[in-house]
A = this chain, B = another copy of it.
Amino acid sequence: MKISFIGAGNIAWHLAPALERAGHSIKEVYSRHLKNAEKLCKNLYDAEAQAHVNFSRSKAQLFIIAVTDGSLPEVLEHLILPPQAIVVHTSGSHGVGVFDAKKYPLAGVFYLLQTFSRAKPIQMEEVPICIEGSNQEVESILLKLAASISKNVQLVSSQNRKTLHIAAVFACNFTNHLYSIAAEILKDKNLSLDLLKPLMQETLEKALELPPKEAQTGPAYRGDANIIQEHLAYLEKFPTYQQIYRLLTESIIKVKNADDGS
């Protein structure tokens, strides 16, 4: 397929070369900052960098909008596409409804359920890709395209994508914040997070093998009230973390009691 990118950030940085490797051809890359587009184009076969969103003369059949959630509506306002072009966004939080059906009759979502950093290579064939289209024909084109770069492709409705996104906030964003709280509690006593790393790895490995509920351990799960009280007293000097400790402990106990009672 002939494809153009609107946006030259982390997603485009990984997705555009992966599509080329699968035999597709990248025609143009737009970025507000032309330099970013040029930088990405250097990694591509013969894509052209451009600083405007008028694609009326483009040969591309598919336009992938990979910009931040916040700038998507503005991009859609100014974007000009050639007739018959399909347009997709890569956002987890916007529905397919963000595309005005009159202006964009052939629209869809191409959502990569992964976190991308420019410096860190990613195994694209392992990345779950969630597809949605404004009609069945678009959907089947997008499914085929996604399957050419990943073996983990699913049709996911806007509603389910929202659920996935919320779950990802818990399993990833919040999890990372807990790592960062652990690091801060340790740093306060000049201890390093390194000591916890084998345990962090093993915790994840268990949760990948077992339903995480069955892998639950710790003072809350054992109902060890003495230890919990000691920990809460220790956390007096970190009031927010004390609140988090209390709430998560209560939640673990609640889930356990519900399961024991069922």
List residues of A whose CB falls within 8 A of some B CB.
68-70, 93, 113-115, 117, 120, 122, 126-128, 130, 152, 154, 159-160, 162-183, 185-186, 188-189, 191, 193, 195-209, 211-213, 215-222, 224, 227, 230-231, 234-235, 240-241, 243-245, 247-248, 250-252, 254-255
Expressed in whole angstroms, the minimum distance between the Cβ of A43 and any Cβ of chain B is 21
How many copies of this kind of chain does the complex include?
2
| CB pair B196 A167 closer than 8 Å | yes
List, in ascending order, chain B residues with CB within 8 A of A204's CB: 175, 200-201, 204
- Whether A114 lies near B254 (C-beta < 8 A) is no
Q: Known contacts A164-B195, A203-B172, A227-B93; is A178 also within 8 Å of B178 by CB?
A: yes
Residue among A162, A235, A245, A248 facing the most chain B CB atoms (10 A cut-off): A248
Please give me the residue from chain B that is nearest to A200 by CB atom: B171
Contact residues of A: prevailing secondary structure: helix
A174 to B126, CA, bound (A): 27
- Check B167–A174 contact: CB distance below 8 A: no
Q: Is the CB of B173 within 8 A of A175?
A: no
Measured CA separation A254–B177 after assembly (Å): 11
Residue numbers in B under 8 Å from A199 (CB-CB): 113-115, 128, 168, 171-172
Besides the contacts A93-B224, A177-B252, A179-B207, what 17 more A-B pairs have beta carbons closer than 8 Å?
Answer: A69-B222, A93-B219, A113-B195, A113-B198, A115-B202, A117-B206, A128-B195, A163-B188, A164-B191, A167-B186, A171-B193, A173-B220, A175-B203, A176-B212, A180-B213, A193-B211, A200-B204
Q: How far is the CB of A38 from chain B (nearest CB, A)?
A: 26
